[in-house]
Structure 1
Amino acid sequence: MTEPARAETSRGPVAIVAGAGRLPLLIAASLDRAGRACRVLAIRGFADPATRRRADATVDLLDVRGALDTLSAWAPDGVTLAGAVARPSPAALFNTMAAYRNRDALRSLASGGDDHLLRGVLALLEEHGLQVLGVRDLAPNLMAPAGRLGALGPDEATEASVEAGRTLLASLSPHDVGQAAVVASRRVLAVEGPEGTDRMLARARALARRPLGLGRPPAGMVLVKRAKDGQDLRVDLPAIGPRTVKRAAEAGCVGIAVGSGDTLVLDRQETVALADRLGLFLLGLPPDSLPPDSLPPDPEPTR
């Protein structure tokens, strides 16, 4: 009698280290639909209540040993970092991570930009034999596609704003400044800093609607958001969602353009429907941009 073939050894689960927001659950749902096992490690004080209910374990943000021990015990096929967390103070880092980094290395980790910090986290995980996966690997359906997402598209004037914004962000990439900007024609109204996209849009609204916030925004005002050149796309991807659309409309934007394949679109159906309702276009930018010399000229000023 022929011996039955042995079943292929199953892969370990995907471990989701969950911060704030809906992204951890969206990734978990996508993995569930694909029939792939996953376990959720929630970060206490950041993970949403729904995520904490779904979580298999919870750790404090700075409990590095506890997090690594838990992840190692799960023997995951990969680890993904999803959701927002606040940047810890240097003092907290020194107190809790001394076993993993010497003081000089910690000082460098704590004082660098966001990209510097994230690279340090990735290195720490990989040093302990954990493979870090990105959302693009696990849930590509959450990424922005190329082309128009909703019913509306840009006109010639807003196309110039979009390309100017994309060129600007590409030039800022080496400086770890931000992933978004608000542009009207070739006039830059705001560039994202550590405060995030919502607050940047609030600044743009104040600047665009002077005096006293009552004026009309300039024509062709758009929000452009894309990953930095050379950014590790396994973590800290740019993201938009319904709230982004609402804030952009309040600021006076007529559209939003994002990098296709490198920007998350959370709650896509709701996001697109809201953009259509508010009269904003949503556009996924192809990876290759036009050179600056190919931009259309600024329109002649009205006399």
Structure 2
Amino acid sequence: MSPVGILAGGGPLPFQVAAAVRDQGGEVFIVGFQDFVDQAQIVHWPHRIIRLAAAGEILSSLRDAGCRDIVLIGPVRRPALRDLRPDAEGARLLARVGRALFSGDDGLLGALVRIFGEEGFRVRGAHEFLTRSLGRPGPQGRIHPDAQARADMKRGIAVVRGLGALDIGQGCVVQDNLVLAVEAIEGTDAMLARVAGLRQPGPGGVLVKMLKPGQEKRADMPTIGPQTVRNAAEAGLRGIAFETGGTLLTDPAACEATADQSGLFLYGLSSADWQDVD
């Protein structure tokens, strides 16, 4: 069996995928993106650390390692074009990406998945390996949402679907039907930091995280970790709702325990939860 190639951005998920592959009897080779990958974690795995735009090195490293299947996982900050400094192969691939560079994250990620396929690799989603991290429908811990929280969840679903259709973000915060914040390029943690100063009187708001409509799941699924739960609590929220099967929990047991300790609900949204949402 050929090793699974992992193109690793930041955070713990690349190494959780690696561990899952190993637990299933497979091997991995990790290409860690310079300035993004966790340097302390990658040393425990066969790897190379390569600049994001050095596509020639990335492709040759994957091929030299015998990789056929690859996984793109972990956040990276999109650099300005002037900072990319692509190698010759990178310049060729950038030319093939073309207008997708300027069409938003979904267009760019979809183009990258297509190009890796054209280069002879099969792009797999992290969710194919991290099946235990996809959550389950309904409450994940002891605390359940009440009627007002469910109404805020429904409002949040509509907002995130609208945002996602415009390729803007994957999350929002709603309190008593009022949209306090929407997630854009700053990410969930920065959005929650803003929300702390926007809270209205009464029960706290709800964070809703979902896939964008038509989003490429193999490249950029929403993620929630224990720190997300802690940040939500510090922002005065009462709960988090996420799309079951469309959101990765970086540590499901710790997320649930942190929610219980913080007095927040953690709720997995199923398709039934948004079938009647306009």
Instruction: Give the match for residue 20 of structure 1.
Output: 10
Please state how far the C-alpha of 1:52 moved relative to its aligned partner.
2.5
Mapped contact 1:31–1:139 kept (Cα < 8 A): no
Instruction: Give the match for residue 235 of structure 2.
Output: 251
- Unpaired runs of 5+ residues, structure 1, are 1-10, 210-215, 294-303
Superposed CA deviations along residues 198-233 of structure 1, whole A, max 9, x for unmatched, are 111112211115xxxxxx4x4251000011111011
Please state how far the C-alpha of 1:122 moved relative to its aligned partner.
1.3
Q: SS of the residue aligned with 1:158?
A: helix
- Unpaired runs of 5+ residues, structure 2, are none
- Within a 5 Å distance, the mapping from 1:50-69 to structure 2 comes to 50-53=40-43, 54-69=45-60
Q: Are residue 100 (structure 1) and residue 93 (structure 2) matched?
A: yes
Select which of 89, 109, 116 maps to 2:100: 109
Select which of 183, 194, 205 maps to 1:192: 183
TM-score by length of 1: 0.85
Q: What is the CA–CA distance in structure 2 between the aligned matches of 1:190 and 1:260, rounded to whole Å? A: 22
Q: SS of the residue aligned with 1:208?
A: coil
Instruction: Give the match for residue 244 of structure 2.
Output: 260
Instruction: Give the match for residue 142 of structure 1.
Output: 133
Q: Are residue 89 (structure 1) and residue 86 (structure 2) matched?
A: no
Matched letter for residue 85 of structure 1: V
Q: SS of the residue aligned with 1:236?
A: coil
Q: What is the CA–CA distance in structure 2 between the aligned matches of 1:272 and 1:255, rounded to whole Å? A: 11
Mapped contact 1:238–1:264 kept (Cα < 8 A): yes
Report how many aligned residue pairs link the two structures. 274
Please state how far the C-alpha of 1:270 moved relative to its aligned partner.
1.5
Mapped contact 1:183–1:190 kept (Cα < 8 A): yes
Identity, % of aligned positions: 35
Select which of 291, 299, 302 maps to 2:276: 291
Q: Are residue 164 (structure 1) and residue 149 (structure 2) matched?
A: no
Q: Are residue 279 (structure 1) and residue 269 (structure 2) matched?
A: no
Please state how far the C-alpha of 1:123 moved relative to its aligned partner.
2.1
Q: What is the CA–CA distance in structure 2 between the aligned matches of 1:107 and 1:275, rounded to whole Å? A: 43
Q: What is the CA–CA distance in structure 2 between the aligned matches of 1:41 and 1:164, rounded to whole Å? A: 40
Instruction: Give the match for residue 72 of structure 1.
Output: 63
Instruction: Give the match for residue 197 of structure 2.
Output: 206
Q: What is the CA–CA distance in structure 2 between the aligned matches of 1:228 and 1:106, rounded to whole Å? A: 21
TM-score by length of 2: 0.92
Q: What is the CA–CA distance in structure 1 between the aligned matches of 2:233 and 2:114, rounded to whole Å? A: 39
